[in-house]
């Protein structure tokens, strides 16, 4: 799904000589989900993604959307979680956002990664389908940062250091 979207966004940008708007991208993902709903009903596969993007339009800021399996999209301000372990993660993020040291939107990158690692670890504790961190084999989650400069994948070393310092 990510591959289809990436190609269609690039194709749009190259042919139309401008970036697809955020609304356009959000709808494109929604349409993919709707088209996939037949498979969901057959039990073949269910996909419930989060869509995060940096909108460099009139009001430049990060934007976050979550979806349901039928393709309805909901924009959220502070956080989104999906997957089998998401109830636990959502609980932590809600708590952090409301009564934590500071709201999620004001966290630094390191702090945000720490919260994400702790949340994933908590979810993995009670949900076998959540990967979490494999402490023996030193396998860490994939973390990507979406910012004005583009999308970067956090190097594993940095995740390992943060994990060692504030989670393990």
Interface ranges with other proteins (CB under 8 A): 3-4, 7, 10-11, 14-15, 17, 150
Closer to other proteins by Cβ: residue 10 or 21: 10
Strand partners, 55: 61
CB of 142 to other proteins, least distance (A): 18
Q: Which is nearer to other proteins, 7 or 31 (CB)?
A: 7
Among residues 3 and 106, whose Cβ is nearest to other proteins? 3
CA dist., res. 124 & res. 131, Å (int): 6
Shortest Cβ distance from residue 158 to other proteins (Å)? 17
Nearest distance in Å: CB 107, other proteins: 27
Half-sphere exposure of 52 (CA within 13 A, CB side): 17
Distance from C-alpha of 141 to C-alpha of 156, rounded to nearest angstrom: 9
- Do 160 and 140 touch, CB atoms closer than 8 A? yes
């Amino acid at each position: 799904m990510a591959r289809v979207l990436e190609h269609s966004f690039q194709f749009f940008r190259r042919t139309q000589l401008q970036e697809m708007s955020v609304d356009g991208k959000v709808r494109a993902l929604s349409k993919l989900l709707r088209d996939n709903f037949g498979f969901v009903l057959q039990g073949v596969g269910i996909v419930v993604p989060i869509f995060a993007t940096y909108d460099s339009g009139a009001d430049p800021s990060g934007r976050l959307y979550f979806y349901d399996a039928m393709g309805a999209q909901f924009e959220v301000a502070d956080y989104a979680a999906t997957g089998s372990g998401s109830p636990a993660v959502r609980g932590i993020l809600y708590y952090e956002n409301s009564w934590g040291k500071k709201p999620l939107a004001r966290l630094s990158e390191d702090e945000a990664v720490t919260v994400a690692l702790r949340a994933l670890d908590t979810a993995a504790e009670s949900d076998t389908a959540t990967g979490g961190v494999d402490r023996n084999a030193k396998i860490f989650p994939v973390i990507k940062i979406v910012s004005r400069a583009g999308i970067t994948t956090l190097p594993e070393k940095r995740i390992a250091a943060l994990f060692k310092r504030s989670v393990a």
